Amino acid sequence: MHTRVGILGAGPAGLVLSLLLAEQGIESVIVETRTREEIERTIRAGVLEQGTVDLLVRHGVGDRALAQGARHDGVEFRFGGAPHRIDFAGLVGRSVWLYPQHEVLKDLIAARLAASADIRFGCSEVEPRGIGGDRPVIAFTGADGTREELVCAVVAGCDGSNGISRRSIPETARTEHFRAYPFGWFGILAEAPPSSDELVYTHSERGFALISTRSPEVQRMYFQCAPDEDADSWSDARIWDELQARVAGDGFSLREGAIFQRGVIPMRSFVCEPMRHGRLFLAGDAAHVVPPTGAKGLNLAVADVAVLARALAEFFSTGSPAGLDDYSATALRRVWRAQHFSWWMTSMLHTPPDASPFDVRRQLGELDMVTGSAAGSAYLAEAYTGWPLEG
Ligand code: FAD
Ligand code: DHB
């Protein structure tokens, strides 16, 4: 079996790449280890940058995001028990959209299959080979148990943070930058009405809390916890008490309801450089992971493949490898900006286990500067809503 671009992984990076390539007439095959049902059920991100939504709309897969997602023109920071709004629309004329990642994936999968895309779900023993040469191969066992070999011109490693593609680059040919944070996020989904029209990022003496939403009936909330916290050991009442204590002040309280999903998310920063080895190009979480505080992960995955698709179009239409040669450096510029933003939001809002009173006062000074100065607010608004996409 032959294709031009063999794509590992049907997450946001892999699916958007196959969509952008198809529009340039470039054939691809996606090899994915999970089933379609598993992918469409996994609860992850919720915030789409304006540029991500614009890209989905431009390529015909944004109708549901526009109709069922919610545009947010600002965000609230709560600290010292009081709210402080950042007005995205007024400061930078941009917004973000709340629309869950698994709904984006449903839209992308439906659109790609309707266009007869070749997506192999439920594969195992996936093995990229010969990535240093000009005819790389993806060997895999299909869902029906047949062993197959896919011969490609290029392989796109879009297989997430635990995928095989990054590990297939020789250790001597990559540098990995890693930071673990001394806390995690306890995330819940609850059947409850919204408590706020906009997202609420809270700094409190008990640690960080984030109030987000999914729909008028379902709310998404997170709070800082120990990295090894056992989510199942918490009663619903204890979860609500902790969330209420963190957002308290100013008469604000959360509207509670039945908790139907919970889990603890690790917090880490990771970058693999360069994002390329020979004919293998990494994109999305396969190359970098950000702590979720800046809501950047999915958006960075989309930004990477926008650059990669343009470089591949140039390569296949003119034979010029210039764009592919620049891919890693171009993508990494945005990646490191987003790493900084995600690290900064995380360190400004969370209370590390060893925080001194000085550290906490300094955080409050920083939050006051960000929300109380036009320049500080404008930086936050610009970074949160997303820098312009390349490609
Ligand atoms: P993935 O979504 O991880 O997709 C990789 C795919 O590759 C998977 O389907 C996987 O099954 C498949 N795969 C794995 N191994 C192999 C293999 N060997 N062969 C073939 N296929 C393989 N980001 C935001 O932008 N905004 C947010 O609000 C946000 N919130 C988040 C909240 C949570 C709780 C979490 C966990 C993440 C959040 N993120 C957020 C991050 C975001 O979900 C990820 O950055 C995004 O999914 C990355 O997309 P990807 O396509 O690179 O990787
Ligand atoms: C959500 C997730 C995030 O990481 C974030 O920063 C904001 C919102 C969410 O799942 O809604």
User: Which ipTM did the prediction report?
Assistant: 0.96
Annotated catalytic residue: which of 181, 291, 292, 350?
292
126 Cβ below 6 A of ligand 1: yes
The CATH code of the domain at 182-267+353-383 is: 3.30.9.10
Ligand 1 pocket test: which of 33, 98, 302 has the largest number of ligand atoms within 8 Å of its C-beta? 33
pLDDT in tens, 58-88: 999 999 999 999 999 999 999 999 999 999 9
For the CA of 297, the closest atom of ligand 2 is: 4
**Can you list the positions of beta strands (E) in the chain?**
5-8, 28-31, 47-49, 70-72, 74-79, 82-87, 96-98, 118-120, 124-129, 137-141, 147-151, 154-157, 175-191, 200-202, 209-213, 218-225, 258-273, 276-277, 280-282, 288-289
Catalytic residue, chosen from 181, 201, 222, 327, is: 201
Ligand 2 contact via 220 beta carbon (within 6 Å): yes
Active site (annotated) includes residue 177: no
Which atom of ligand 1 has the smallest separation from the CA of 300?
25
Please determine, for residue 228, whether its predicted confidence score (pLDDT) is greater than 60: yes
> Does the beta carbon of 39 lie inside 6 Å of ligand 1?
yes
**If we measure between CA atoms, which residue out of 331, 391, 332, 305 comes closest to residue 14?**
305
Q: Which amino acid residue places its CA nearest to atom 11 of ligand 2? A: 46
* Shared fold status for 5-72+96-177+268-349 and 182-267+353-383: no
- Annotation says 201 is catalytic: yes
Sheet holding 5-8, edge to edge: 118-120, 28-31, 5-8, 154-157, 280-282, 276-277
Ligand 2 neighbourhood includes 194 CB (under 6 angstroms): no
* pLDDT for 45: 86
Which residue is closest in CA terms to ligand 1's atom 52?
Answer: 284
Instruction: Kindly state if the Cβ of 297 falls inside 6 Å of ligand 1.
Output: yes
The residue ranges of every structural domain in the chain are 5-72+96-177+268-349, 182-267+353-383
Q: What is the mean pLDDT of residues 308-312?
A: 98
* Residues 234-292: tens digit of each pLDDT: 999 999 999 999 999 999 999 999 999 999 999 999 999 999 999 999 999 999 999 99
Class of domain 5-72+96-177+268-349: alpha beta
Pairing of strands 5-8, 28-31: parallel
* Backbone phi, psi, residue 354, to 5°: -105, 25
**Mapping DSSP to helix (H, G, I), strand (E, B) and coil, where does residue 356 land?**
coil
Give 142-163 pLDDT, tens digit per residue: 999 999 999 999 999 999 999 9
What pLDDT, on a 0 to 100 scale, did the predictor assign at position 390? 78
346 lines ligand 2 (CB under 6 A): no
Q: Which is the catalytic residue, given 203, 277, 288, 296?
A: 296
Catalytic residue among 99, 181, 327, 384: 384
292 classed as catalytic: yes
Q: How much is the average pLDDT of 340-354? A: 97
pLDDT of residue 391: 56
Mutate to test the pocket of ligand 2, among 220, 269, 344, 384 (most ligand atoms within 8 A of CB): 220
Distance 269 CA to ligand 1 centre (A): 14
pLDDT tens digits, 8-18: 999 999 999 99
